[in-house]
Chains A and B, each alone.
Chain A
């Protein structure tokens, strides 16, 4: 999923495009959220213990609803205006990647059986996370919940993150929110990560600015896409032996993948036989997205009764708890909306200190944390 090693590459070579923002800092901001990706995350972690997931009395999984409900309410209470975008049909190009994922899942399933026989609890938990599958029903349930909560919901014609990026490009939202770094390949002006992280982790929102990213890497959008394809994306294979750092180096040196192929030592770096990188480019450049012309986004008050009937009636959630959370939200809403100062005075300009030391990005936050910040200073200046 996503682009392999891109976060690290950016933190090393274009640290200026990444900014940590406080969750409260997103007040009154409209954000397009890649919901499909988040459902998957919730199914993996929310309410899980061992192989067990949250379910209702009928045994249907409800982790995704629990996750969506709490995280959505957290955003709404903070005055954030989310738009949910769901995956449509996967692009045919993704077939290879999807088949790989399916294989992995099946491998995990058979390993899980073994672990169960052996009774290894840790293994069971680890493997059962890998067997998570998001069905159409799960997405539709979350869509239903989002509509009851009064949020705009879109079903993307194709990949959700492409539509998120399109909404952001059209100026309908401030940022696209996804953990999937390939959202940047769709040239979303702003990408926000960790927006849906649980409040207990206290992760700041990590914001990527696309213009600064290109400026920092000294690439054009087309070149950036080529770098991402070389790093490894969902749509096609990459060249074995070329990692993110080399990908950046070669694209800068040769301009694009074609240029690289002319010069590449094909003995050392075997190029995949059937390598549809040109088609992958098209998918990033001209993805199928929701039509944004003349589109307006509307948020309405949550339909409390509908939410309760759905979550508590059908899905065995605790009614008192749901009602209390909805009441909290209502109270927060009743105090009226709060605009940001930019609404009145126009966009802010950024001013940097002329002296002093730059604080390095915090390290070791999760798997894709902005690691290696220290190295970046020396490396960014190196000329290829």
Chain B
């Protein structure tokens, strides 16, 4: 039996919006630890990892570890039927083939039950090592979203360079080029801050298409954190207050030196 009640139901709606563009079908892992997911896009260039810790739910029960396969766009269709103020409860039997979403309006005068058919799917998981990153940038998530959106109207890739002065986003396209630099900024308002922690300067290039889909998580958190190391995928993290996180990994573009490598 799995049961999880989330008072702030809109959170689940937002979580789903943040992953459904990247992944079509995914396995959700339910355990005592919480409600989690790891999934890759179809070309295996990016990965999303979600964790909603059990203590973040008002009520959480998971008798046995379960892996539930769902079609995310269908799940999103159902969650869209929940009001933004609704309390959402997820329920599933250990052996059943559906998951139930129950929506309760805040004043308890309307209760809806939606049953989603589960799918038995194979998903591919990567073992991601814990690493120290050479550069960590914390910045307002809305600012990051804006930059990615703006640059993708000019070019297809963005080069992110982090130095101790700031973080620079640049792109080149057919019509010209663009550079945006955000300086370290420790303003009083925490949500407005741009903070850079640096072991050594890093420069990496990424496909903007993926970064743009990561920024669908912007409503989840006021701040986004980018972690980069030379020749490693970037980690783009949105912390969900008192609950967990949505984390994205994206493989960098590499210089094609025309002579290819051995397999």
Contacts and interface: CB of A to CB of B under 8 A. Distances in A.
A336 interface: yes
Nearest to A342: B44
Interface string B92-124: 111111000000000000000000011111111
Contacts of A378: none
B253 interface: yes
A349 interface: yes
The residue among A342, A346, A355 with the most chain B CB atoms within 10 A of its own CB is: A355
Contacts of A359: 119-121
B92 A300 contact: no
Contact of A341 (B117, B122, B126): B126
Given A345-B127, A346-B127, A348-B124, A355 B95 contact: yes
B262 interface: yes
A350 B118 contact: no
A81 to B, nearest CB: 7
Contact of B254 (A27, A298, A300, A337): A337
A358 B129 CA distance: 31
A351 B47 contact: no
B67 A341 contact: no
Interface string A350-372: 11111111110000000000000
Q: Does more than half of chain A's interface fall in helix, strand or loop, or is it mixed?
A: loop
A353 B249 CA distance: 23
B119 A357 contact: yes
B240 interface: no
A336 B254 contact: yes
Interface residues of A, number: 42
A328 B69 CA distance: 38
A64 interface: no
Given A335-B156, A338-B254, A351-B27, A356 B122 contact: no
A333 B253 CA distance: 11
Main secondary structure of the interface of B (DSSP, over half): loop
B119 A352 contact: no
A335 B68 contact: no
A296 B261 CA distance: 8
B187 interface: no
Contacts of B96: 355
A58 B97 CA distance: 64
Contacts of B117: 356-357
B97 A357 contact: yes
Bin chain B's interface residue count: 35 or more
Most chain B Cβ neighbours within 10 Å, of A337, A343, A353? A353
A338 B45 contact: yes
A335 B253 contact: yes
Interface in A37-91: 79, 81
B263 A356 contact: no
A299 interface: yes
A344 B251 contact: yes
Contacts of B205: 336
Contacts of B175: none
Contact of A355 (B42, B68, B129, B233): B68
Interface string A92-124: 000000000000000000000000000000000
B125 A351 contact: yes
A189 to B, nearest CB: 13
Contacts of A333: 256
A172 interface: yes
B118 to A, nearest CB: 3
B232 interface: yes
Nearest to A25: B42
Contacts of B188: none
B158 to A, nearest CB: 11
Given A344-B232, A344-B251, A352 B120 contact: yes
B43 A172 contact: no
Contacts of A298: 259-260
Interface string A295-326: 01111110000000000000000000000000
Given A339-B251, A351-B27, A346 B121 contact: no
Contact of A350 (B95, B120, B123, B259): B123
Contacts of A171: 263
B12 interface: no
Interface string B227-257: 0000011000000000000000101111110
Contacts of A343: 251
A60 B100 CA distance: 64
Given A335-B157, A341-B47, A357 B118 contact: yes
Contacts of A249: none
B46 interface: yes
A193 interface: no
Nearest to A348: B124
In the complex, which of the residues B44, B66, B93, B205 has the most CB atoms of chain A within 10 Å of its own CB atom?
Answer: B44
B207 interface: yes
Interface in A240-291: none
Contact of B118 (A172, A344, A355): A355
B40 interface: yes
Nearest to B27: A353
Contacts of B124: 348-351
A295 B221 CA distance: 50
A350 B260 CA distance: 29
A22 B260 contact: no
Interface of A: 19, 22, 24-25, 27, 30, 79, 81, 171-173, 296-301, 333, 335-346, 348-359
15 contacts: A25-B44, A27-B43, A333-B256, A338-B43, A339-B45, A341-B251, A345-B127, A345-B129, A345-B233, A350-B123, A350-B125, A354-B67, A357-B118, A358-B119, A359-B121
